[in-house]
Amino acid sequence: MIILACDHAGYTLKEQIKEFFNKENITTIDVGTYSTDSVDYPDYAKAGNQKVLENSNNVGIYICGSGIGMCIAANKNPKIRAALCQSEAFASLARKHNDANVVVLPGRFISKQKAIKIIKVFLTTAFEGGRHARRVKKLKEV
């Protein structure tokens, strides 16, 4: 399942992404926020994390203005590997090398079209394992 979470600065892009998924008949769970009224991004990262961790097949798409706040907040949970991605290359590496389960997007800095490209790469790229698995395992020790 795809979990969507955003703050007020990510709301517009989140709605555009939801529209894309709806057209593709892909079900998502939206944990908010549901408007452009000012909110605190850690609350929505936490709500997203709770849903992502309900099933190992779940992935998150989190959005805030810069992406930085949501990424920091999401990564407070040691079972979340959130990656701030502004390009398809970053999304690919986040999955291949880091087994990221959350992609974070900077809502104020990328277009809907760019976001969709990043998401498609993130959702279709597999973790390579091998030496990367050893490194990801060490993240629990940091």
Q: Which residues of 124-133 are buried (b: 16+ CB within 10 A; e: fewer)?
A: ebebeeeeee
User: 46, 97, 108, 114: which is the annotated catalytic residue?
Assistant: 97
The vertex-122 CA angle with 124 and 33, nearest 5°, equals 125
Locate 63 and state its tokens. Answer: 């959005």
Is residue 97 flagged as an active site residue?
yes
The vertex-57 CA angle with 74 and 85, nearest 5°, equals 45
Does the CA dihedral 82-85-91-96 come out positive or negative? negative
Does the CA dihedral 102-107-112-117 come out positive or negative? negative
Look at the block and give the residue holding tokens 């974070």.
104
Residues annotated catalytic, as ranges: 97
